[in-house]
Structure 1
Amino acid sequence: MSRIGFLHTSPVHVLTFDNLLSEVAPEAHPVHVVDESLLTDARANGPQSVADRVEAQLRSLKDRGVELICCTCSTLGSVAEQSEPGVPVFRVDRPMAARALQAGRRIAVIAALDSTLAPTLALLEEEASAADHEVETTPIVAKGAWDMFEAGDQVGYVECVARTARAAAPTADVVILAQASMAPAEALLTDLPTPVFSSPRPAVEYLAARQ
């Protein structure tokens, strides 16, 4: 199994993806880079403002021998995919977006950060166009959730995301949790008749299929 690179903007993602890889692709060799400043600066000045630094981090992963890279930050996903580090790069939410479009036309997009919404909505439109599907998106920010995340209140963060998703579900065909850090909220929503998708597992399954 090849070495797989991950570019993160929060250290919480390292364990998430290591655990999923051990389950889905136990022979994979993950290599992680965490750079929290990328998201901080992208929120302040826009994702393109950090494009050169994103590419530099991706190249550093390539230099460490990885053959495929996943950018786990939704805000920076498009910037990462536009980079040319010398190995294939994909954004963590692309496999999730494809699955969501197969599940229904009306998609509620839950985010904790405003900066995540525009890139995620653009991704859904891109995937819908490629698949010749109609899509109707409803962007929703889980108010107060990111403050909890930054304060280290993971339980409060996940519960806030889950409440927001639950409220959106009745008028949607499918709900997506736009940020990888939201994945634990999926377990709190299994009773809903509306399917709920988060990005880490589809991304790891995509990685496993590419090996």
Structure 2
Amino acid sequence: MAKTLGLIHTSATLVPVFQELTDKYLAGKGLKIFNIADDSLIKNTIERGKLTPDTARRVVGHVASAEEAGADFILVTCSSIGPAVEMAAELVDIPVLRVDQPMADKAVQMGKKIGVVATLSTTLEPTSDLVRRRAVVAGKDIELTSKLCEGAFEALMGGKPEVHDEKVATALKELSQQVDVILLAQASMARVVDQLAEEDKKVPIIASPELAVQHLTEIL
């Protein structure tokens, strides 16, 4: 019988991003896929500066709904609500993956000095915390450097993508002098990597969406 994958997003803009990745890596596996998108989750989290209990409860509700809708596996595609995803995973009978876990595991394998870059503090903290915990699971000592690109997210939302890209590029260049590998806490930053000159990519820079879907190909 065909397996069903439920994707839970905090923005409808992520639906085509993951559609492209699942088409690339999971096509021909006879997999059924459905999406649930609720942008109030991320909007509330940004507004309040943290993941609050009422938002976390709604994440748990969406995960439970996806299970009821017949999902055999759930991927939640936003890092900012990661802690709620782990909570939800304890309350359903199917596997639930937070999008940044495969990325955190890969970074821990790749080096001791790990950098995390984000444009939102609400994403920087959960991702940094996850990397620390995955290092403990892997039995590795790491040095973590977190970097927030102040004002970059506001610039992107305010219709100034070039200002966002410039701030992110500057952070990546600075961090690449100090670490073995850089994690992008938000998938929206990945396009900046493509714009960097080769000499500025001194270390591997990894993002979560592709790694998460590749991880799914191994376990589904």
2:8 is the counterpart of 1:7: yes
8 Å CA contact 1:4–1:30 kept in 2: the answer is yes
Larger radius of gyration: 2
8 Å CA contact 2:165–2:192 kept in 1: the answer is yes
Please give the secondary structure, in 2, of the residue aligned with 1:123.
Answer: helix
CA distance, structure 2, for counterparts of residue 93 and residue 187 of structure 1? 20
- Matched ranges for 1:57-206 at <5 A: 57-83=62-88, 84-154=91-161, 156-189=163-196, 191=198, 192-206=201-215
- The Cα offsets for residues 148-206 of structure 1, whole Å up to 9 and x where unpaired, read as 33235556544542332122111111111011222323323472120110001110011
Gaps of 5+ in 2: none
Partner in structure 2 of residue 46 of structure 1? 50
Root mean square deviation of aligned Cα: 1.9
CA distance, structure 1, for counterparts of residue 156 and residue 219 of structure 2? 32
- Matched ranges for 1:15-34 at <5 A: 15-27=16-28, 28-34=31-37
Normalising to structure 1: TM-score of the pair? Answer: 0.91
Normalising to structure 2: TM-score of the pair? Answer: 0.87
Aligned residues: 211
- The Cα offsets for residues 115-160 of structure 1, whole Å up to 9 and x where unpaired, read as 1122111101111101111111111111222113323555654454
Q: State the identity as a percent.
A: 32
Paired AA for residue 43 in structure 2: T
Counterparts in 2 of 1:189 and 1:197: CA distance versus 1, 3 Å: farther
Residues 196-205 or 59-68, more deviating: 59-68
- The Cα offsets for residues 23-81 of structure 1, whole Å up to 9 and x where unpaired, read as 11113332111111112222316324212111111122222221111111111112112
Counterparts in 2 of 1:62 and 1:141: CA distance versus 1, 3 Å: same
Please give the secondary structure, in 1, of the residue aligned with 2:177.
Answer: helix
CA distance, structure 2, for counterparts of residue 10 and residue 150 of structure 1? 13
Counterparts in 2 of 1:82 and 1:130: CA distance versus 1, 3 Å: same
